[in-house]
């Protein structure tokens, strides 16, 4: 999984701005790729929590395979945002999901970072056109949205705003690809980008089925985790449909099932997130968890993800 980034993108030092769950995961991943990391976060005890998170992620990253020179000692924490970005070749921002906050944050980073430095946001829903609106150099502001946890999941959604240059999008795609990510270029700004919209469609129907008393929380999770989720972890929805069509492929499948699929769409629910529904789902999750601890589930999930990602890379026939 580790690759050489130096000759491909000339990125040697990344600034990680905001070191919560996503930022800490990014920091660990960048370090594992042999990069220097400047981190900054104004929260009390942020450095202590960041170093603890990196230490927690490091054994998993070692199993992935570290790049030459990778070391946790290449992490530097800065109290000043401006100091953190002043010598960075690439900035990965992970601040709160508030447009007013992002506009001011990117304005400050734009004023302090070197002219060629790309400023990327991990925002899961905000439009980059708004984020870049206060910058003197908006052409270098881009969205680089990871999928949680970033130190494991390869996907990164790259989206330019109204003023982002095509060259910056190309450089951002090249950087993420060079460090082992799977970037995709989202060609138009939409709420939630791509992956979160696809998730939201599934969540909507899952909540609807619980609300209508069709199935329990546990049974819905089982239906996905031990059914289509297994196929989706191997390849995407369109390629899965193609294989379901047999020798005739997706053309044959759509000719025979296009009508029924459309009929299912018309019957899908649109539930409201009422307090009653929230409580029903919370209780259902608690019952499904039983005596298990969330930390144990996370560890088991990460091990399976690691094995799956490694197996897919070794197969090399599903891209």
Q: Does 299 fall in a domain?
A: yes
Q: Does one domain contain both 273 and 145? A: no
The chain-wide mean pLDDT, for the chain, equals: 94
165 and 265 share one domain: no
**Domain-located, residue 86:** yes
In this structure, is residue 236 part of a structural domain?
A: yes
pLDDT of residue 316: 78
pLDDT tens by residue, 279-316: 999 999 999 999 999 989 988 998 899 899 889 888 87
Domain assignment of residue 249, given as a range: 196-315
CA–CA separation, 169 vs 161, rounded Å? 10
pLDDT surpasses 90 at 7: no
pLDDT at 319: 66
Predicted local confidence at residue 10, as pLDDT: 86
Are 271 and 175 members of one domain? no
Asked if residue 5 has pLDDT above 70, the reply is no
Answer yes or no: do 175 and 218 share one domain: no
Final residue in a domain of this structure, among 161, 185, 209? 185
Q: Which of 140, 158, 185 is the last residue of a domain?
A: 185
Tell me: do 156 and 223 sit in the same domain.
no
pLDDT at 244: 94
Range in 1-10, 19-28, 126-135 the model is least confident about: 1-10
Q: DSSP letters along the chain, please?
A: -----HHHH---EEEEE--SHHHHHHHHHHHHTT-EEEEE--STTHHHHHHHHHHHHHHHHHHH-PPTT--GGGEEE-S-HHHHHTT-SEEEE---S-HHHHHHHHHHHHHHS-TT-EEEE--SS--HHHHGGG-SSGGGEEEEEE-SSTTT--EEEEEE-TT--HHHHHHHHHHHHHTT-EEEE--S--TTTTHHHHHHHHHHHHHHHHHTTSS-HHHHHHHHHTTHHHHHTTS-HHHHHHHHTGGGHHHHHHHHHHHHHHHHHHH-------HHHHHHHHHHHHHHHTT--HHHHHHHHHHHHHHHHHHHHHH----
- Examine the pLDDT at 72 and tell me if it is beyond 80: yes
- What average pLDDT score do residues 158-173 get? 97
Confidence of residue 221 (pLDDT cuts 50, 70, 90): very high
Question: Are 130 and 175 in the same domain?
Answer: yes
Residue 190 lies in a domain: no
* Residue of higher predicted confidence among 261 and 313: 261
Same domain, 129 and 172: yes
Do 156 and 277 share a domain, yes or no? no
| Residues 17 and 146 placed together within one structural domain of the fold | yes
**pLDDT for residue 9:** 58
- In sequence order, the β-bridge partners of residue 93 are 17, 121
Q: For residue range 175-206, list pLDDT tens digits in order.
A: 999 999 999 999 999 999 999 999 999 999 99
Q: How far apart are CA 192 and CA 143, in angstroms?
A: 12
Query: Is 1 a member of any domain?
Result: no
Number of independent structural domains in the chain? 2
Statement to judge: residues 236 and 155 lie in one domain: no
Determine, yes or no, domain membership for 289.
yes
pLDDT mean over 97-123:
97
Looking at the structure, do residues 144 and 269 belong to the same domain, yes or no?
A: no
pLDDT tens, 118-135?
A: 999 999 989 999 999 999
Flag whether 165 is in a domain. Answer: yes
Identify the pLDDT of residue 125. 87
Question: 6 pLDDT exceeds 60?
Answer: no
Please indicate, yes or no, whether residues 175 and 225 belong to a single structural domain of this protein. no
Say yes or no to pLDDT of 1 above 70.
no
pTM attached to this predicted model: 0.91
Mean pLDDT, rounded, for 16-31:
98
C-alpha 138/C-alpha 53 separation (Å) is: 32
CATH code of the domain in which 276 resides:
1.10.1040.10
What's the pLDDT at 247? 94
CATH number at residue 176: 3.40.50.720
């Amino acid at each position: 999984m580790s690759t050489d980034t130096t000759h491909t993108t000339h990125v040697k030092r990344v600034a990680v701005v905001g070191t919560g769950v996503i930022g800490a995961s990014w920091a660990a991943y960048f370090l594992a790729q042999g990069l220097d990391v400047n981190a900054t976060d104004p929260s009390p005890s942020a450095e202590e929590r960041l170093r603890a998170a990196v230490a927690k992620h490091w054994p998993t990253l070692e199993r992935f395979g570290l790049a030459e020179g990778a070391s946790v000692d290449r992490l530097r924490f800065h109290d000043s945002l401006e100091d953190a970005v002043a010598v960075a070749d690439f900035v990965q921002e992970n601040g709160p999901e508030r447009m007013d906050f992002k506009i001011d944050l990117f304005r400050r980073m734009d004023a302090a970072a070197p002219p060629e430095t790309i400023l990327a946001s991990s925002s899961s829903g905000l439009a980059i056109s708004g984020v870049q609106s206060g910058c003197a150099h908006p052409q270098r502001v881009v969205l680089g949205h990871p999928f949680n946890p970033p130190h494991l999941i390869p996907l990164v959604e790259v989206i330019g705003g109204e003023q982002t240059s095509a060259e910056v999008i190309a450089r951002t795609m090249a950087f993420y690809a060079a460090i082992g990510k799977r970037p995709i270029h989202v060609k138009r700004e939409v709420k939630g980008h791509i992956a979160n919209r696809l998730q939201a469609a599934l969540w909507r129907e899952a909540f609807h089925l619980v609300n209508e008393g069709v199935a329990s929380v546990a049974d819905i999770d089982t239906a996905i985790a031990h059914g289509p989720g297994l196929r989706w972890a191997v390849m995407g929805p369109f390629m899965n449909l193609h294989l379901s069509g047999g020798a005739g492929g997706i053309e044959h499948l759509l000719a025979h099932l296009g009508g029924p699929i459309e009929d299912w769409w018309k019957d899908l629910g649109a539930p409201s997130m009422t307090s009653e529904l929230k409580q029903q789902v919370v209780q259902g999750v608690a019952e499904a968890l039983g005596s298990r601890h969330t930390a144990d589930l996370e560890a088991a999930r990460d091990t399976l993800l690691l094995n799956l990602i490694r197996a897919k890379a070794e197969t090399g026939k599903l891209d």
